[in-house]
Amino acid sequence: MEEPKPKSIRTIGLIVSIFSGFIIFSNGMGALAFSIIDFGDELSGQNEFLDFNPIGFLFANYIYMCLIMVTIGVLYLIGGLSVQKYKLWANKLVTYISAILLILIWTFMVVMLRMTAEHESMKLFNIGIIISAVFWSTPIGLLIWFLNQGNIKKHFV
């Protein structure tokens, strides 16, 4: 007799799908609003490497970053819906996308800390950056751990 598949896998797939909807909606609306306001044009005039301004770079490439996040959200949505169907490829897709998100979170955290390190008045902000990175990376790390446990992964085909 075949062992019943845990319902927790379907629940995790649903949570991933809902989370991906937030990613798609928030970044899609951000890109739309930013393009309507046309805010980034005056900050995109960075021609010299020595005058590199991270905030200017962010504004100059904001729409592209939002579109990358929308793409990640769509892949997460496909993965989450297919995890609910116990597909092994979906398990791997969600694991890889989650790993990419972890790398992005901690990369942005380090970049932001380096940008604000020389400002004494930003110490409290730096603590907020670290707390935010831990807050967002904890559930993503737990998701990777859960999906790759032996007793869970064996149910995927």
Q: Give CA–CA dist 74/71, Å, rounded.
A: 5
Query: For each successive 10 residues of the chain (157 residues), what is the average pLDDT?
Result: 87 96 96 82 51 70 92 97 96 97 92 82 86 96 96 93
Q: What is the pLDDT of residue 108?
A: 87
Residue with tokens 């993503």: 140
Nearest CA to 12 out of 145, 154, 124 is that of 145
Question: Rounded to an integer, what is the distance from CA 36 to the centroid of its chain?
Answer: 24
What is residue 123's predicted lDDT score, i.e. its pLDDT? 82
What pLDDT does residue 51 have? 57
pLDDT, one tens digit per residue, over 62-79 is 899 999 999 999 999 999
**Residue 7 class from Cβ within 10 Å (0-12 exposed, 13-18 middle, 19+ buried)?**
exposed
Query: CA 146 to CA 80: how far, in whole Å?
Result: 14
Q: Domain boundaries in the chain?
A: 8-153
